[in-house]
Amino acid sequence: MKKLLSVFFIFNFAFCASRADFSTSARSAFLLDPVSGAGIVNKAGDTLMPPSSMLKLMTLAIAFDAIKDGRLKMEDQLPVSANADHKNRIWAMASKICLTRGQTLSVNDAIMGLIVMSGGDAGVVLAEHLTGSESAMAELMTRRARDIGMSQSTFGNVSGLSHPDNLMTSRELAILALYLIETHPDFYPLFATRVFEFGGYEDDWCREWGRLKTRSYNRLLFMMPGAEGMKTGHTSEGGYGMVATATRGGRRLIAVINGLSAKNHNALAVEAKRLLEHGFNNTSTRVFYQPGDIIVEIPMWYGRSKVVPVTVNRTFAVTLSKGQDTSGLRILARYKYPAVAPVRPGDELGEIIAQLDGQEIARAPLVAKEKVGKVVFIGRIIQNLKIILGTRD
């Protein structure tokens, strides 16, 4: 049977300000609190749209995964093919490092070129090395997106240039940003890089062109204290977009703007800053449980232990508007009673639920913290007899 246990009855905490609605002319906007998982702002957040160069975050995720797995090293030198050559007409008006066929490009420079200069040509170099072709890389990116939890996103290339298969939602761009933050913390600080000077030009025209292209397109890094990244995008089809992250007072938020009609990247940054500040100024997040905290001990049936402690596999928190009445906030644990052995760490045994005035606002699985083995046959007989006789403690 199911048992409902209130493990934290009332959260007596009052915020001091009221929340204002956020309005934007962008076609889509999504603001995520990564600790609670709350979507603070959601304007068409689940609508598929061209992501433009924000798509390069997925290219970078694949590259970072390869480095983490040992298949790629930052110092590796990769060959530049005709597909990535600056004379290839697709790069005439596109963001690029400005590479020359036959030269080599270090993985480090490819990554920095993607982050700071939005170099789609660097993405092609990485794609051809890792998968053999840009199309194969795009297929891998789509498959990997499903693993990360991005159920709708599809990819047709690694550069973000117009392609019918380049489609992402603002929510899934935020999910991708969170994946990069949590899975690749060593690489995440690179997204705050303001200036990158590529020293490997082998063409005089590129050398002169690159001299003026050292400053990040992410103007938010220059105008908002605490800004940490991550990627801008712009195409005539998709408009201006940005995945922006910032930290204030130890709290991080992830903002996504897409489909904005703007004059330039400065105007885009102003809109992203406005969205982030809306979240910081009007909401607050309260953490209830961290992974490893024992939330409740569930009685065991046929177990070598009488109970199994359960916890959460990621931080359990709620995000509320400042000034919101929280007298009706309850945190509940719901689980099957009793649990049946054997149980392994991480096995889902129930769920934890946050309710405000009877309405659910957050939910997460409860998982076993420890292993509980199954008693031998004679032990199960003894336990059954205790249950029949009503003497089981």
DSSP line for 91-109? GSSS----B-TT-EEEHHH
Q: What are the strands, taking DSSP E only, across 107-190?
A: none
pLDDT level of residue 8 (50, 70, 90 thresholds): very low
* HSE toward the beta carbon, residue 385, CA cutoff 13 A: 6
Neighbours of 282 (CB within 10 A): 19
Report how far Cα 161 is from the mean position of its chain's Cα atoms: 23
* HSE toward the beta carbon, residue 8, CA cutoff 13 A: 19
Amino acid at 111: I
Q: Give the tens place of pLDDT for each residue, 51-67.
A: 999 999 999 999 999 99
Q: Give the tens place of pLDDT for each residue, 339-371.
A: 999 999 999 999 999 999 999 999 999 999 999
248-268 residues labelled b (16+ CB within 10 A) or e (exposed): beebbbbbbbbbbebeebeeb
Q: What does the chain come to in residues?
A: 393
Percent residues over pLDDT 70 in the chain: 90
pLDDT level of residue 6 (50, 70, 90 thresholds): very low
Q: Are 15 and 323 contacting, i.e. CB atoms less than 8 angstroms apart?
A: yes
Over residues 18-29, mean pLDDT: 81
Amino acid at 101: R
Please name which of 306, 312, 285 lies closest in space to residue 7, comparing C-alpha atoms. 312
Q: Give the tens place of pLDDT for each residue, 207-221.
A: 998 898 999 999 999
Q: Are 352 and 295 contacting, i.e. CB atoms less than 8 angstroms apart?
A: yes
Over residues 152-175, mean pLDDT: 96
The answer to whether residue 311 scores a pLDDT higher than 50 is yes
pLDDT level of residue 386 (50, 70, 90 thresholds): low
Query: What phi, psi does 324 have (nearest 5°)?
Result: -75, 140
Q: What pLDDT was estimated at residue 392? A: 55
Distant-in-sequence, close-in-space partners of 69: CB < 8 Å, separation ≥ 6? none
Strands 239-248 and 329-336: unpaired
Question: How far apart are alpha carbons 94 and 121 in whole angstroms?
Answer: 9
Please name which of 270, 289, 307, 280 lies closest in space to residue 392, comparing C-alpha atoms. 307
**Encoding tokens for residue 21?**
């609605």
DSSP at 92: S
Question: How far apart are alpha carbons 43 and 28 in whole angstroms?
Answer: 5
Over residues 171-189, mean pLDDT: 97
Q: What pLDDT was estimated at residue 383? A: 57
Q: What are the strands, taking DSSP E only, across 214-358?
A: 227-235, 239-248, 251-260, 283-289, 296-301, 307-311, 316-321, 329-336, 339-340, 348-356
Q: Are 302 and 375 contacting, i.e. CB atoms less than 8 angstroms apart?
A: yes
Amino acid at 38: A
Query: What phi, psi does 31 have (nearest 5°)?
Result: -125, 120
Question: How far apart are alpha carbons 24 and 190 in whole angstroms?
Answer: 29
In this prediction the pTM is 0.89
* HSE toward the beta carbon, residue 360, CA cutoff 13 A: 8
pLDDT level of residue 301 (50, 70, 90 thresholds): confident
Q: What pLDDT was estimated at residue 303? A: 87
